């Protein structure tokens, strides 16, 4: 089993991005492809909204949110952790179906 950061049901941004990725890749995109897309969306939103200076970018992580392929992405700090992170991304525990290795089985969602 392994972790996948995907929502139970993809929203419209994920459907649109998934279609674009499938067209470019020629196969079903992995959750890593969605993470990459979301990373670019977060960085572009931060730079567009707060500016490109070092202090501007640092301030960007303190507020605001970006609609990503896997839901609203908002960074915050948990007690005892010194960095901001997306605290509650959608998570699945999955494995590959032994009878059909190209298919994933979702064992748990949270």
CATH of the domain at 91: 3.40.50.2300
d(CA 81, CA 104): 33
Predicted confidence at residue 99, as pLDDT, reads: 96
DSSP calls for 50-66: H-SSHHHHHHHTTS--E
* Owning domain of residue 82: 2-109
Q: Say how many domains are in the chain.
A: 1
pTM score above 0.85: no
d(CA 108, CA 95): 10
- Alpha-helical runs (H) found in 1-110: 12-25, 31-50, 54-60
Q: Tell me the pLDDT tens digit for each residue of 54-89.
A: 998 888 888 778 999 999 999 988 899 888 889 888
CB 77 within 8 A of CB 84: yes
Residue 78's φ and ψ, nearest 5 degrees, are -95, 150
Q: Tell me the pLDDT tens digit for each residue of 16-50.
A: 999 999 999 999 898 899 999 999 999 999 999 99
């Amino acid at each position: 089993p392994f972790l996948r950061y995907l929502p139970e049901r993809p929203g419209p941004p994920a459907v649109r991005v998934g279609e674009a990725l499938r067209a470019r890749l020629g196969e079903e995109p992995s959750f890593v492809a969605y993470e990459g897309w979301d990373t670019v969306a977060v960085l572009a939103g931060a730079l567009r909204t707060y500016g490109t200076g070092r202090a501007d970018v640092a301030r960007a992580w303190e507020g605001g949110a970006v609609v990503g392929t896997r839901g609203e992405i908002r960074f915050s700090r948990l007690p005892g952790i010194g960095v901001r992170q997306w605290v509650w991304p959608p998570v699945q525990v999955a494995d590959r179906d032994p009878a059909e290795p190209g298919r994933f089985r979702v064992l748990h969602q949270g």
